Chain A
Amino acid sequence: MKKILTIAIREYKAMVGTKAFLASIVMMPILMLGGLVAIQLLNKVGEVKERRIAIADGTGELTEVIQRAAESRNAAIDSALNDQENASMAGRDRGGPSLNRGEKFYFEVVDQELDEEKRISLSERISNQELYGLLEIPANALDPLAAAPQDSPINSDQATNSPLDAIRFYSQDSGLSPARGWLQSIISEHAKALRLRQAKVDPIIVAQASVPIEVKGMGLVRRASDGTVVAAEEKDVMSALFLPMGVMMLMFMVIFMASQPMLESVLEEKSQRIAEVLLGSANPFQIMSGKLIGSVAGSITIFSIYLVGIYFLAQQRGMLDAFPMHLVPWFIVFQILGVLFYAAIFLAVGASVTQLKEAQSILLPVWMLLMSPMFIWIFIVQDPNGSVAKWFSLFPPATPTTMMLRLSTGQTIPWWQPATGVLLTTLATLAIVVIAGRIFRIGILWQGKTPKLSEIVRWGISG
């Protein structure tokens, strides 16, 4: 046991006692979450684009409505730009989606009706980027039957017989264009007001009657251990989406940062013939056990650093209530199992090859297993008790990450599921450690050409 501990202490020091470790502690969250942060930043400080749109208005009355709305929108953007602190206000004009906050619209009025030649000519100007888009409004656009969407039940046969049955927006990105959404909302609002007036209904009364009634998302009321009733907490996007994602990312980072050094450690021992010295002092079981314990200790250090960091950040921001302290014990259990599982595989592969790049190609499927929950996390968060979430979280290579993802959604997960996850992952980890131990014992003294994958599998099965 003393030898195992001696090896574990060296592995632990080799992992955490370097500048590279500190750098990776800082860099990993930046790399993992950097994309999200970058989108946020770019959204805030992104350049304002000026979109010039040709408008062919068959009704003769919508052009003015649209231009007035655009002027109001453009002024709001300018005002927001002048006041960076209120930049987010720029998108709050007439219900436009937040994505179009950086786009100002200007209109060029063309003929009321267009023939094919005119459309081609305007399309070419769009291709040459003289124009951003073309809005073509048929004369009957404000007729409720003609302007209804294609799939609407109101779109009857007589409507489709008209020469131009819908308002059309032509642009190179019309499928995703925020301009199309904005135009649709402006025209719809105008049409609604028009129809209400025609029906002799006061639009102001309708507007007041249409004020939406908010339904707040709440957690559950519960009774605390001292008998007092704890009020339900409001659930927002932060707790519903980002908390589970953060927990999943943290589990991935901890497993990755604690397992990867095992590969490098055993490769160094093999290439520098340190393995022979170690095997002259301890048997393969002791060496591998020591390394795995060192790796688990390293992972607990990594987790502790992040836990303390996140706790203080939450305290500073007054978000301690949202801090999921009850998940910590589960996290530690799944983290230990995950680290043992993957570190054992990394050790076995490291012992079987002579170069890092050979190990990387063999480890590709292992990486895919470790990262698999990240491909479907959104489905799991949306339905953490669904079949996909349940069965995926009971698949041992994915259990640590997926089960923590489910638990952190705040929904009730039947207790037997994490318990079964622990049991199955423990059994799988034991099997992997035994198989990896056999591979390690043979591979560590293997010199010359890299063995084939089938050969490594044979070592693992027959020893």
Chain B
Amino acid sequence: MGNAIELQDVTKSFGKKVAVNRVNLSVPEGSIYGFIGPNGSGKTTTLRMILRIFQPDSGVVQVLGAAQGKTADDRLGYLPEERGLYKRMRVRELLTYYARLKGMYNCKPEIDRWLRELEAESWVDKKIDALSKGMAQKIQFISAVVARPELVILDEPFSGLDPVNMVSLRDAILSLREQGTTIVFSTHDMDMAERMCDTVFMIFQGKKVLDGSMESIQAEYPANRIRVALSGQDRSLPSLPEVSDCVEHGRFFELTLRDVEHSNVVLQKLASQRQVTHFEIVKPSLHDIFVHIAKPSPSVEQAA
């Protein structure tokens, strides 16, 4: 299986600001690839280069086997964050328009199938501005996938959805993957990215800082946190020099160790004073890694 997207040494600047700086990326066909990064980090610029909206200043952008050109590719579907719909158009009219723009002229069966799948059939004659935020988000999703693209780029697809609609959209994305569609989605929801993505890519200040499976990323970051539970009426935790931070989560305490090697020492010290009912070494979550990378360094904070 090849790569749906290949970025080689790609750079894009706007005036003096380097938005994307020598980024390399390979997105395998049929995978779900998560794009994460703080606002203004170069995420949208990278996505726009993949969509052929922007041309890179240097480097190579190869999408679905084709090198970059000035023509948009009908094999790509795109869902922008929150907006992207004509408010005065009716649902079917809008979906038909977007499908035709992608070269699909006999689109009625596909539109009906997606409306059925996302339980949106009753909205078909409604105007977009009469839809709730969640409904509009579903219609927007259908508009991105209605022309059966081989690669779908979704920018914050779960924004504005309640938990029930979130599950139905997540299932729709997973079913697309099962049909062989490659999915790239950008999100600030780290839990969702961690649960859904085969691979995660993080860009920060225009540079790639993470790229790989969750396991490989987690392996790169030290497991210096432990979760413990103690029995008895006394809820306080003894003060230990090996622990730099302690956060209470109900009956659990989450401790950050000064050194990864300290976990055994801490367990021994706790067990000598109290009865330990739960002890777990916590793998760093994507959220932790994100915050670790994106938080301003102390020198920057001082300067600010």
Q: Spell out A's residues near B (CB within 8 Å).
A: 2-3, 6-7, 10, 14, 18, 268, 271-274, 276-283, 445
Contacts and interface: CB of A to CB of B under 8 A. Distances in A.
Nearest to A444: B53
Nearest to B101: A281
Given A273-B80, A274-B83, 6 more contacts: A2-B103, A18-B88, A279-B52, A281-B72, A281-B98, A281-B102
Contacts of A274: 83-86
A276 B101 contact: no
B86 A279 contact: no
Contacts of B86: 14, 268, 272, 274
Contacts of B74: 281
A268 B98 CA distance: 16
Instruction: From A3, A10, A276, A278, name the one whose CB has the most chain B CB atoms within 10 angstroms.
Output: A276
Contact of A6 (B80, B84, B101): B101
B84 A282 contact: no
A404 B141 CA distance: 50
Contacts of A278: 101
A274 B71 CA distance: 18
A-B interface, 5 closest residue pairs, ranked by CB to CB distance from nearest: A281-B101, A280-B78, A273-B83, A272-B83, A273-B80
B76 interface: yes
Contact of B53 (A2, A6, A268, A279): A279
B256 to A, nearest CB: 39
Contacts of B188: none
Contacts of A272: 83-87
A272 B83 CA distance: 5
Contacts of B81: 273
Contacts of B87: 268, 272
Q: Is the interface of B mostly helix, strand, loop or mixed?
A: loop
Contacts of B70: 283
B97 interface: yes
A277 B143 contact: yes
A278 B72 CA distance: 9
A111 B84 CA distance: 85
Contacts of A14: 86, 88-89
Interface string B104-126: 00000000000000000000000
B257 interface: no
8 contacts: A6-B97, A18-B88, A271-B83, A274-B83, A274-B84, A276-B51, A280-B51, A280-B52
Contacts of B76: 280
Contact of B84 (A7, A18, A277): A277
B133 interface: no
Contacts of B98: 277, 281
Contacts of B53: 276, 279-280, 445
B170 interface: no
A18 B71 CA distance: 33
B207 interface: no
B93 to A, nearest CB: 8
B100 interface: yes
A273 B84 contact: yes
B72 A280 contact: yes
Contacts of B97: 6, 10
Q: Is the interface of A mostly helix, strand, loop or mixed?
A: helix
Contacts of B48: 276, 445
A202 B47 CA distance: 101
Contacts of B84: 272-274, 276-277
A408 B131 CA distance: 51
B72 A277 contact: no
Contacts of A268: 86-87
Instruction: From A2, A268, A273, A445, name the one whose CB has the most chain B CB atoms within 10 angstroms.
Output: A273
Nearest to A279: B53
Instruction: From B48, B51, B85, B101, name the one whose CB has the most chain A CB atoms within 10 angstroms.
Output: B101
Given A272-B87, A281-B74, A7 B80 contact: no
Contact of B72 (A6, A279, A445): A279
Contacts of A2: 100, 103
Nearest to A271: B83
A236 to B, nearest CB: 47
A315 to B, nearest CB: 37
A280 B103 CA distance: 12
A7 B101 contact: yes
A271 B80 CA distance: 12
A277 B103 contact: no
A303 B174 CA distance: 52
Contact of A277 (B80, B89, B100): B80
Contacts of A283: 70-72
A281 B76 CA distance: 8
A192 to B, nearest CB: 72
Contact of A3 (B52, B85, B101): B101
Contacts of B52: 279-280
A276 B71 contact: no
Interface string B177-189: 0000000000000
A277 to B, nearest CB: 5
Nearest to B102: A281
A463 to B, nearest CB: 12
B85 A282 contact: no
A13 B240 CA distance: 72
A18 B127 CA distance: 13
Instruction: From A277, A282, A445, name the one whose CB has the most chain B CB atoms within 10 angstroms.
Output: A277
A14 B87 CA distance: 11
A271 B85 CA distance: 10
Instruction: From A18, A271, A283, name the one whose CB has the most chain B CB atoms within 10 angstroms.
Output: A283
Interface in B60-99: 70-72, 74, 76, 78, 80-89, 97-98
Interface string B130-158: 00000000000001000000000000000
A445 B98 CA distance: 19
A247 B48 CA distance: 48
Interface in B24-79: 48, 51-54, 70-72, 74, 76, 78
A18 B98 CA distance: 21
Contacts of B88: 14, 18
Contacts of A273: 80-84
Contacts of B71: 283
A84 B88 CA distance: 50
